[in-house]
Structure 1
């Protein structure tokens, strides 16, 4: 029986790829007078926050504090957009499950975006960002901090499902001992899920069907 649901953040709960690619294009052009390519962003995508910025802009500056300030300034101009029904699902089932977020993004960015979207952050037992651990997905140890909190609530690994959109999400969660449910808002990782015979859904309506009505991991 599932008692806790942990989500990836970027491209699982919110449409970060679509939103932040636009942000990065603008920042690169206006600040560094450079045209960054989609391939370059793809190569950096999913890295821990600081490594992500250095991968994109390290050839122009190694000053991570300055890069952070610029990135946050530009991000504020392009508000992130939730995936349909994502936070409605969490609100609806807040009394049925413990919810958490584990992401490679910075906690301060996630909190700012959730506040912009007027999402109640108290819906989550923990919002764990890149600052919380020295390891990151696909290393399964990334889940140790949030699991220690869930364990205090007498929730075991086999009572937890991690929902994410990428191979790294699957590899880290399954190796740690959690159940995993993929979510494919687009076709990017569908071939991987299909090849590895990984359960996945297309949207949050289907998540409700799989977890609540079908009790897939029960």
Structure 2
């Protein structure tokens, strides 16, 4: 059993923790980059899957600069990210994609903790999805890219005057762990067995999490 009684605040990643969205996001990159060679797009998808917590802005930049050896402007990245977001708005407004046990935990415990979403997903898109899926009111705030996750965590700490000791971060990527550990915040991995020995613990299932 995992005891959360010492915490007052939970920071949630979104993709892979509250929503099983990775296959849809794979398709998003394939659609937006459909005019480019498939073998190059496949290399991006490998990078995307290995770096789930990074924003699409970073991934599009990686595609052009590291895979295609081309320069790309910030305006071009923004345009691709906007096109990607339109695809996500269509595809992700689907309650069947929500991860039932973690969303149930949020709904059952949102009055016991202050909860925030801190995600690598685009912030405008993320807020739209949370509103459309009926999740918005369970969270004190919802934060996303293009601001890096480490900076988002810092902003939540500063805006809400939290201390690291009262916070737990639940995520499914090393990027989540890095953002938590940089600020001295306890990290629990979820939905990614490679994180089982990272942070202070690993959530196999939310029925093992309790608070007094």
More strand by share: 2
Name 1:34's counterpart in structure 2: 37
> SS of the residue aligned with 2:25?
helix
When residues 12 and 100 of structure 1 are mapped into structure 2, their CA distance, relative to the original with a 3 A threshold, is same
CA contact (8 A) 1:182 1:193 kept: yes
When residues 20 and 174 of structure 1 are mapped into structure 2, their CA distance, relative to the original with a 3 A threshold, is same
- 1:89 aligned to 2:105? yes
When residues 4 and 78 of structure 1 are mapped into structure 2, their CA distance, relative to the original with a 3 A threshold, is same
* Unaligned ranges ≥5, structure 1: none
Question: Once superposed, which parts of structure 1, at least 4 consecutive aligned residues long, lie more than 6 Å away?
Answer: none
Q: State the Cα distance separating 1:120 from its structure 2 match.
A: 3.5
Name 1:146's counterpart in structure 2: 156
CA contact (8 A) 1:41 1:56 kept: no
Name 1:129's counterpart in structure 2: 144
Name 1:11's counterpart in structure 2: 16
Residue 203 (structure 2) aligned to one of 201, 204, 209 = 201
CA contact (8 A) 2:101 2:206 kept: no
Name 1:76's counterpart in structure 2: 89
| Cα distance in 1, alignment partners of residues 210 and 159 from structure 2 | 22
Q: Using CA pairs under 8 Å that are at least 6 residues apart, name the structure with larger relative contact order, 1 or 2.
A: 2
Q: State the Cα distance separating 1:107 from its structure 2 match.
A: 0.6
| Cα distance in 1, alignment partners of residues 33 and 206 from structure 2 | 37
| Cα distance in 1, alignment partners of residues 41 and 155 from structure 2 | 35
> SS of the residue aligned with 1:200?
strand
* Unaligned ranges ≥5, structure 2: 1-5
When residues 211 and 148 of structure 1 are mapped into structure 2, their CA distance, relative to the original with a 3 A threshold, is farther
**CA RMSD across the alignment:** 2.6
